[in-house]
């Protein structure tokens, strides 16, 4: 009997995977990986490892969850080391809990390897600390999309009144509804808000506004998922401590200047 490792690949920056997660990739006989992982991570796998794509889009699943579960069991029963490589952390909106339950039910040995989740990493790379002694002592992860034809079970009143900072995953498509619910239950329209798109990658973009204005800002920017929405007073700190996007711009400018020097002969 083999073993399954449910591994968090981190939020996008290849360097943010954990040491243990990288060791699992290097040992794996089979890797089932998601759409949002950094593809560079697969280059660390053994040459003979089987790489199986399991990516999901908002309106399209290349592989159903039930099929993924069966693949994990099947390969482990063949005596293989199996890695289920998931963006961010496997237990934060990643269905890792469902997969672990399925493995346990079938008597498959497994381990959970936590990863850095985008709800913390993306705002950090955007210069937004999710907690701050003067501004935020409570913080919540919130799913931004509902299962099809399922009732909304999120307690928006509690989130609006009781939590300082909200990190909302994959919520761009439902952003008008999210903002309406928070305002409806008492959150001020002037509450700072940000959207971080492709956080921690060189394609990162950050837009800021308020709970009242962020919907129109997102619409004008044509922003899509994958994005993290951050709502709370901590967003104001971005003005003074943003660092990553400035570093990208500087690096791009230096690369361009170097290219011009080579082309110009000096």
Q: What band does 114 get if pLDDT is binned at 50, 70 and 90?
A: very high
Main-chain phi, psi angles of 236, to 5 degrees: -60, -25
Question: Per-residue pLDDT averaged across 126-154, rounded?
Answer: 89
Indicate if 56 belongs to the active site: yes
| Domain residue limits at 233 | 119-244
Indicate if 29 belongs to the active site: no
Per-residue pLDDT, 58: 56
Distance CA 96, CA 144 (A): 18
Percent of the chain predicted with pLDDT > 90: 85
| Any domain includes 258 | no
CATH value at residue 226: 3.30.950.10
Check whether residue 133 and residue 236 sit in a common domain: yes
Main-chain phi, psi angles of 160, to 5 degrees: -70, -40
Per-residue pLDDT, 214: 98
pLDDT tens for each residue of 213-237: 999 999 999 999 999 999 999 999 9
Per-residue pLDDT, 149: 59
| Any domain includes 249 | no
Check whether residue 50 and residue 165 sit in a common domain: no
Distance CA 231, CA 240 (A): 17
- CA-nearest of 228, 24, 55, 34 to 128 is 228
Query: CA 29 → CA 43, 88, 100, 115, 173, distances in Å?
Result: 14, 22, 19, 21, 37
CB burial of 251-265 (b: ≥16 within 10 Å; e: otherwise) equals: eeeeeeeeeeeeeee
pLDDT tens for each residue of 69-111: 999 999 999 999 999 999 999 999 999 999 999 999 999 999 9
Check whether residue 100 and residue 50 sit in a common domain: yes
Check whether residue 99 and residue 158 sit in a common domain: no
| Any domain includes 76 | yes
| Any domain includes 257 | no
Per-residue pLDDT, 215: 98
Percent of the chain predicted with pLDDT > 70: 89
Per-residue pLDDT, 14: 96
Most confident option among 83-92, 246-255, 257-266? 83-92
Are 162 and 156 contacting, i.e. CB atoms less than 8 angstroms apart? no
Catalytic residue (choose from 56, 63, 164, 180):
56
pLDDT tens for each residue of 22-80: 999 999 999 999 999 999 999 999 999 999 999 865 555 568 999 999 999 999 999 99
Torsion of CA 76, 80, 85, 90, to 10 degrees: 40
Check whether residue 111 and residue 137 sit in a common domain: no
Check whether residue 128 and residue 231 sit in a common domain: yes
Question: Per-residue pLDDT averaged across 117-131, rounded?
Answer: 98
Question: Per-residue pLDDT averaged across 196-218, rounded?
Answer: 97
Which residues share a beta bridge with 63?
none
Q: What is the DSSP string of 140-173?
A: EEEE----TT------HHHHHHH-SEEEEET-GG
Check whether residue 176 and residue 123 sit in a common domain: yes
Indicate if 20 belongs to the active site: no
Catalytic residue (choose from 13, 29, 34, 89):
34
Whether residue 161 is predicted with pLDDT greater than 90 in this model: the reply is yes
Burial level of 196, CB count in 10 A (0-12/13-18/19+)?
A: buried
Whether residue 265 is predicted with pLDDT greater than 80 in this model: the reply is no
CB burial of 80-91 (b: ≥16 within 10 Å; e: otherwise) equals: bbbbbbbbbbbb
| Any domain includes 58 | yes
């Amino acid at each position: 009997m083999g073993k399954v490792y449910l591994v968090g690949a981190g939020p996008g920056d290849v360097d943010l995977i954990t040491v243990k997660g990288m060791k699992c990739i290097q040992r794996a006989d089979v890797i089932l990986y998601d759409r949002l992982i950094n593809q560079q991570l697969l280059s660390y796998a053994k040459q003979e490892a089987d790489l199986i794509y399991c990516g999901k889009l908002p309106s399209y699943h290349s592989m159903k969850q039930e099929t993924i579960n069966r693949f994990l069991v099947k390969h482990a029963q063949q005596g293989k080391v199996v890695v289920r490589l998931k963006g961010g952390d496997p237990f934060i909106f990643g269905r890792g809990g469902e997969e672990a339950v399925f493995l346990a039910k079938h008597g498959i040995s497994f381990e959970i390897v936590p990863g850095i989740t985008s709800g913390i990493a993306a705002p950090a790379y955007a210069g937004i600390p999710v907690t701050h002694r003067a501004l935020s002592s409570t913080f919540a992860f919130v799913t931004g999309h509902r299962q099809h034809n399922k009732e909304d079970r999120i307690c928006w009143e509690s989130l609006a009144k009781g939590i300082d900072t909200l990190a909302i995953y994959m919520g761009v498509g439902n952003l008008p509804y999210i903002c309406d619910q928070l305002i409806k239950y008492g959150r001020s329209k002037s509450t700072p808000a940000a959207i971080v798109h492709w956080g921690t990658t060189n394609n990162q973009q950050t837009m800021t506004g308020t709970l009242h204005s962020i919907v129109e800002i997102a619409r004008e920017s044509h922003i899509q998922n994958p994005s993290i929405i951050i709502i709370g007073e901590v967003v104001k700190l971005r003005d003074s401590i943003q660092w990553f996007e400035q570093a990208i711009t500087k690096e791009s400018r230096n690369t361009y200047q170097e290219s011009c020097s080579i082309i110009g002969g000096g």
